[in-house]
Amino acid sequence: MYPLPHANIFYAMPSSTAFTGNVIFPDRIVAATVICRNGRIEGIAKRPPRDCQAVIDAGAGYIAPGYIDIHLHGGGGADYMDGSIDAVRTVNRTHLRHGTTTVFPTTTTGSPEEIERMLTACDAAAKSWTPGDGARIAGVHLYGPYFAGNKVGCHSRKGRRDPSPDEYTRYFASRLVRIATCAAELPGAAAFYRAARSARCLITCGHSDASWPEMAAAFANGMRHVDHFWCAMSSVASVRARLGTPMRGSMEQFVLAQKAMSTEVIADGQHLAPELLRFAYDQLGPSRLLLVTDANRAVDMAPGRYRFGPVETGSWFESNGKVGFVPGSGLASSVIGLDAAVRQMRHATNAPLEDVVRMATLTPAERTGIARSRGSIAVGKRADLLILDKAVRVRQVFLDGVRV
């Protein structure tokens, strides 16, 4: 619980900005005032102090923590794998407009050189960051290239490979990688997971046809998360086709049964039907289920043909303005921001708004180890805040308490 303090408890020092309205905490929504100074949340009170320099009134809307996306590739016509600072900033500005204030830029399959260019660009953008650059980078999600051969999806097959210590140790040495994905059944996966655990990453399994025993082995080596539930992942039927009988459990059963595991859903109304979103929420709850976009470069762009991954070598996909897809094949990630995912998840599940917002804020912050500084509205955390209207549309975005 997040009890409201007495109204005058934070009046001792002048505040630069007070946000007043329906404040979304992780477990409830309360009419309150959030007092911010020097980029941090200084206090929570019943009403604005008399000496505050500015008051932002959300009216009948909401005050929410900034969204956190741990799985996104692009937006605004750019992809992180383009490997330039300009591309990184374009993506981050695009998603900031949708309420995402913290991102984990996500790799696709690609050559070692392309991945290293992406890491270098993200590192440079993070070190030179200003609010005008868009969402802030909390780390990189090393997602491709260690996928199962039959689960590559829309990623370039040419860039897929098994994990090699000579390669991934260079990535971990940068200390920028905070999330690390590898298909559990690949040769060398165990060593990859151990290296990722030493690098203090959130370790995930994705684009995988792993069986329950392979997932259990991965879990023993530190794996705690599965990427985009039901998308490019194993099922009982696919494991049987690969390993024969007796039929074995798949990634789905392992995640649902193992309470230390978390996963994520793409709530864009295109990847998963409402009953699957409801099922995931009912079975996992808001502390084990995350909202992600898995967004590509077509976010906020006109329908058309685009590259997924590096602009020179990435695979082609099409966007119809609702989702990315490969004609005659399957879906190719989303073209939404997290604001749309929050609204879709709320509509599909009828979950309390505080639960839905938690899945886009505190839960990803907890899983990636950044909850001390962001992910909820609490004293001492960054003043990365959103003003939402009654329909949960983003009306204003604040980074460090300053509107951007």
- So what's the pLDDT on residue 115? 98
Do 250 and 292 belong to one domain?
Answer: yes
Do 196 and 332 belong to one domain?
Answer: yes
| Two tokens, residue 267 | 């709530």
Band of pLDDT at residue 51, cut at 50, 70 and 90: confident
- So what's the pLDDT on residue 16? 84
Q: Is the pLDDT of residue 5 over 60?
A: no
9: in domain: no
Mean pLDDT of 37-66: 94
Q: What whole-number distance in Å separates Cα of residue 145 and Cα of residue 157?
A: 9
Percent over 90 (pLDDT), the chain? 94
- So what's the pLDDT on residue 2? 35
190-215 pLDDT, tens per residue?
999 999 999 999 999 999 999 999 99
| Residues 141, 370, 335: CA angle, nearest 5 degrees | 45
- So what's the pLDDT on residue 52? 87
Do 152 and 246 belong to one domain?
Answer: yes
Do 61 and 78 belong to one domain?
Answer: no
237: in domain: yes
Do 163 and 281 belong to one domain?
Answer: yes
Domain that holds residue 169: 67-368
Do 139 and 127 belong to one domain?
Answer: yes
Coil, strand or helix at 402:
strand
Mean pLDDT of 357-370: 98
11-43 pLDDT, tens per residue?
333 458 999 999 999 999 999 999 999 999 999
Q: What whole-number distance in Å separates Cα of residue 337 and Cα of residue 98?
A: 5
| Two tokens, residue 145 | 């290239």
Q: How many domains does the chain have?
A: 2
| Residues 375, 377, 378: CA angle, nearest 5 degrees | 105
Do 276 and 394 belong to one domain?
Answer: no
12: in domain: no
Band of pLDDT at residue 402, cut at 50, 70 and 90: very high
6: in domain: no
| Residues 201, 286, 131: CA angle, nearest 5 degrees | 60
Do 148 and 60 belong to one domain?
Answer: no
Do 59 and 71 belong to one domain?
Answer: no
Do 145 and 219 belong to one domain?
Answer: yes
Question: H helices of 128-234, where?
Answer: 165-173, 189-198, 212-220
Q: What whole-number distance in Å separates Cα of residue 66 and Cα of residue 351?
A: 19
Percent over 70 (pLDDT), the chain? 96
CATH code of the domain containing 235: 3.20.20.140
- So what's the pLDDT on residue 13? 39
Q: Is the pLDDT of residue 312 over 80?
A: yes
Do 351 and 396 belong to one domain?
Answer: no
Weakest-pLDDT range from 48-57, 161-170, 268-277: 48-57
140-182 pLDDT, tens per residue?
999 999 999 999 999 999 999 999 999 999 999 999 999 999 9
pTM of the model: 0.95
- C-beta of residue 265 within 8 angstroms of C-beta of residue 225: no
